[in-house]
Structure 1
Amino acid sequence: MTDDAYLFLVDDPATPLGAPVTAVGDLACLETPAVRAWLDAHGVTAASPGVRLLPPEETGSIPDRSEKVPVPLSDEELNQLRHALAPGALARVEEELLAYRDCAGERDALLVRAMAAGIPPHRIVELTGEDARTVASVAAQGQGRPSESGARQQ
């Protein structure tokens, strides 16, 4: 896994892989000389439908033959990208996870709902700031399985 997001090209704009850059919003990296040169070299603009963007944790799904370039994104830009990729229900649960940082109420229920919604544990850890073992323990309890420690961590 890389720490950079990637801009890449898809042959068919109907391909569901990645987010169109226009769906993510204004990105500072689009003004860098490296990205501008990459776009120019491929005869596209950031608004072209075949130009897509994926966050660092998903760049492994970019086809090997695709033209791609790494781009650094701020935390806010990464959140915008992830929201552009998430279907509506997932985006709402992710918003709750972000709000979770400001309050500790109903932690276990929220973590179980996030897992049930299909949000990967690593993403829950990023959004909540919780320890990965805590997320795994609560998820196991929410699925009716005993956790490794046998006790609920708070």
Structure 2
Amino acid sequence: MRIREATSEDWAQIWPFLREIVAAGDTYTWDRDVTQGRARELWMATPPGRTVVAVDGDTVLGTAKMGPNHMGPAAHIAGASFMVSPEHGGRGIGRALGEHVLEQARADGFRAMQFNAVVETNTRAVALWRSLGFEVMATMPEGFEHATKGFVGLHIMYRKL
């Protein structure tokens, strides 16, 4: 597996699993019925943001997007989002993308990274981010309406770079 900058040609492989993940309603704060056009606009970052893909040969296994989380005097804080194709989960792709994004953010001159919305019931993601040095700074009670569990907490996670 290798991680590289995403190209417009990668979208055809990203969209099916992105649509599945968002529609499930258990991890992403996007509209569950997001259109392909809107999803592409949100996911395929433009500078100073970046979108990367984890690939095995020509197969996209997962993707991440990163860039400034804030503007102006807080633009030194990065943000990032991640999606791994469910059919390729459990193989360390999320960890590899997380490590890559942290390294890239450091290289791009960011001082810290903040995740704005990690659903507390997404325990695999919470454990992964903790293992990569993130802390839960706050949890907004009932900040996310989970598709099957109702209203659950939404973590803000942070890590200095």
| Structure 2 length-normalised TM | 0.27
Q: Decide which structure has greater strand share.
A: 2
| Structure 1 length-normalised TM | 0.28
